[in-house]
Amino acid sequence: DAMVIQNPRYQVTQFGKPVTLSCSQTLNHNVMYWYQQKSSQAPKLLFHYYDKDFNNEADTPDNFQSRRPNTSFCFLDIRSPGLGDAAMYLCATSSTHGQGKETQYFGPGTRLLVL
């Protein structure tokens, strides 16, 4: 089945220790997104890739970076995690073509704990 996969599902890191979260998709969608979701809140968009073009949200901290080496994979790098970065990180994909365009499909998420 076509899907969005996130690894790991749970990640524990230490304060200030860089961490990378990964996302892959088999949907062949040209747009990939990273969201941060804290407890009892709606997902907050951090950035997205439209094909190879990177689009950062204005209020996304510099501590958060992303890489998209190819269509299928996208990574979220947190350079120096703080306690406030503990959250669920959701990856999503969408296509700008076709009948179901612009529908975002989400992965299962990675829960990040910062100690």
Please give the residue ranges that form the binding site for another protein (CB under 8 A). Answer: 31, 40-43, 45, 48, 50, 88, 90, 92, 94, 96, 100, 102-109, 111
What does the angle CA 111 – CA 113 – CA 114 come to, to the nearest 5 degrees? 150
Contacts of 11 (CB under 8 A, 6+ apart): 19, 21, 110, 111, 112, 113
Residue closer to another protein, measured from CB, 81 or 109:
109
Residue with smaller CB distance to another protein, 20 or 41 = 41
Polymer length of the chain: 115
We find the least distance from the C-beta atom of residue 70 to another protein, in angstroms, to be: 19
- Of 78 and 112, CB closest to another protein: 112
